Structure 1
Amino acid sequence: MDNVSFVRVLTLSGFNETSNYRMTLFSFTLLYYCLILFCNICLITIIILDENLHEPMYVLLCSLFINGLYGTTGFYPKFLLDLLSSSAEISYEGCLLQAFIMYSFACCDLSILSVMAYDRYLAICRPLHYHSLMCKRRLAQLVCFSWLTPLCIFSISIILTSTVKLCGSRIQKIFCVNWLIYKLACSDSNTVWNNIVSYITIIVYVLHGVFIVWTYMHLVKKSVRSKDDRVKFMQTCVPHLISLSTFLLIIVFDLMYSRFGSTDLPQGLQNFIATEFLIIPPLMNPLIYGFKLTKIRNRILYIVNSGRK
């Protein structure tokens, strides 16, 4: 295949070893995806409808849950359809769209978690100025920042990738990612610009990480000095730390495996490693915050008890 005008359909070769247990995998995946939808939609609905939860921390949580729906919707429906079909194929345009969703979902998660760290820093370290610094306008700006930053960066990256000519059609995964599409290119005509965008992305999100570390240095220092701040830290910062740590470990592990990992591992294990960020955080986040945060937990218990009556 010489150029992009001929390569209109790509094959996802990560499904090659799933033929013997596709229906079992389909059933468990469908159940798991429904659970993700149920948990995230329930908490989003609770936060939107309960005026007592219209506070910055809960608005940011709502944004995190919406992002979980966004990322999983870019993967699970297509994955389920591929399990039912004899050949896992995706259009070139669909592959670019899925790659965009995968990257922007992951980076949007980190951006939202960074803004949440800033919110906790203001609430615990500068409580007297919290409402003036975290006003509705500032909150709206921060939410827009957490969404628009990854969307803009990866729009440029995907546009650059869409201009290359392809000489292959096999994606070595069960979903599309930008660098694997680019590996199919006939030439390296856009390598410089793609590298520039990659470096910008790395710098932006390393700065996110530095900022989170800085906020938690202050949060821990403040919490050690005061019992009240320590209680607030345990209630609101520990769930955030669990979400953040889990997400970063999964992403770093996936990146390290993609670069240095062995291809001798069973295909099923490779698929699980590649999709961990779509399996664990989207369900873990609503469960952690739903059970740990008192206001949300009380609201859930109230709804459950009302339903029983």
Structure 2
Amino acid sequence: MDDELNITYITIGGYVEVDKYRYVYFLIMFTVYILIIGSNIIIVCLIWVHENLHEPMYVFIAALLLNAVLYSTTIYPKMLIDFLSEKQIISYSACLFQFYIFYTLGLSDFLLLSAMAYDRYVSICKPLQYPVIMRKTTISIFLVLSWLLPACQMAVLVIQIADTKLCNFNLKGIFCNNAVYSLHCVRSKFVTIYGVVLLFNVILLPMLFVMFTYVRILILTYQSCKEIRKKAAETCLPHLLVLISITCFSVYDVSIARLESKFTKMARLIMTLQIVLYHPLFNPLIYGLKMKEISKHLKRLFCRAKRL
């Protein structure tokens, strides 16, 4: 506690032998960060530039990839600074801000995937009504709700824990995820109950909705011709893979916090790195390879780059 400035500082204690490997850590994570930013932004720019990609599905994909960029930018710059610093510390207010952005964007991903599932459902099951239902206004509403609902619900949680008394000032992690709760003297019942409500509202309900729409699509396409089945597989499979990926990393994130005492410091570091490494790189890889139109534009872009 800094009495002069009245700022509470938290020590980030999840790193292993930073003094010895600081430049190795920095080089690896800086390279990964550049790859994340580059791969996501390239696809977003392709969607922005090419008019044939100005469809609802691709707009939602662009929003999902922008989330990955913001998600990574919340984590990586601070991490890179920590590698080069003698002391790895963060103010409690900055830690809560990182916690807020990290989970707001993570929860937003589930709602964006729900919007994509609805878009695919209308496109495949109600093709004649698609232009009427999926108008620009509808897309805008989905986008606003996908960001606004998690932001508002997470704000309530962060405001509640902001004034919680701290008994521990050593964070057993490399960034402020739900390991923040281990800093508190007592975890309030409100936070516990509200966390369950949040889990149900913004994760379980969207997941159930996605599964429901894809089951309906599967039933319809099974009864349809080969052309419709192919179209459904090409557009729905990438979304399902991304949903599975996000769900697995969400479970992973919760598990690390709950079972942190069961792992060594090195094991916790490696496990935590999985969350910030794979998820932001997985989305552009899946959409770049599996979405036919995006893949086509990517090939043209790289062919031009080779000629130059």
- How far 1:29 moved relative to its partner? 0.8
Match of 2:50 in 1: 50
Asked whether the 8 Å contact 2:16–2:266 carries over to 1, the reply is no
Match of 1:233 in 2: 232
- 1:197 correspondence with 2:212: no
Q: Which runs of 5+ in 2 are unaligned?
A: none
Q: Which runs of 5+ in 1 are unaligned?
A: none
Q: Distance in 1 between matches of 2:244 and 2:21?
A: 33
Asked whether the 8 Å contact 2:111–2:206 carries over to 1, the reply is yes
The amino acid of 1:197's aligned partner reads: Y
Asked whether the 8 Å contact 1:17–1:268 carries over to 2, the reply is no
Question: In structure 1, the residue corresponding to 2:263 is in which secondary structure?
Answer: coil
Match of 2:258 in 1: 259
Change (3 A) 1:108 1:298: same
CA RMSD of aligned residues (A): 2.1
Q: Distance in 2 between matches of 1:296 and 1:9?
A: 45
- How far 1:146 moved relative to its partner? 1.0
Q: Distance in 2 between matches of 1:64 and 1:81?
A: 26
Match of 2:211 in 1: 213
- How far 1:275 moved relative to its partner? 3.4
- How far 1:197 moved relative to its partner? 2.2
The amino acid of 2:194's aligned partner reads: V
Query: What are the equivalent positions in structure 2 for 1:1-309 lying under 5 Å apart?
Result: 8-177=8-177, 179-187=178-186, 191-204=188-201, 205-226=203-224, 227-260=226-259, 263-265=262-264, 267-307=265-305, 308=307
Asked whether the 8 Å contact 1:174–1:271 carries over to 2, the reply is yes
- How far 1:250 moved relative to its partner? 2.0
Q: Distance in 1 between matches of 2:87 and 2:205?
A: 42
The amino acid of 2:70's aligned partner reads: Y
TM-score, normalised to structure 1, is: 0.91
TM-score, normalised to structure 2, is: 0.92
Q: Distance in 2 between matches of 1:74 and 1:142?
A: 24
Change (3 A) 1:168 1:140: same
Change (3 A) 1:236 1:27: same
Q: Distance in 2 between matches of 1:14 and 1:181?
A: 12
- How far 1:198 moved relative to its partner? 1.1
Asked whether the 8 Å contact 1:113–1:244 carries over to 2, the reply is yes
Percentage of pairs with the same residue: 34
Question: In structure 2, the residue corresponding to 1:15 is in which secondary structure?
Answer: coil
- How far 1:64 moved relative to its partner? 0.3
Change (3 A) 1:231 1:193: same
- How far 1:186 moved relative to its partner? 4.2
Asked whether the 8 Å contact 1:247–1:277 carries over to 2, the reply is no
The amino acid of 1:221's aligned partner reads: I
Q: Distance in 1 between matches of 2:55 and 2:263?
A: 49
- How far 1:229 moved relative to its partner? 1.9
Q: Distance in 1 between matches of 2:209 and 2:135?
A: 21
Question: In structure 1, the residue corresponding to 2:165 is in which secondary structure?
Answer: coil
- How far 1:301 moved relative to its partner? 2.1
Change (3 A) 1:281 1:105: same
Listed one character per residue, the Cα deviations across residues 39-88 of structure 1 (whole Å, up to 9, x for unaligned) are 11111111111111110000000000100011000001111110111211
Deviates more, 1:203-212 or 1:162-171: 162-171
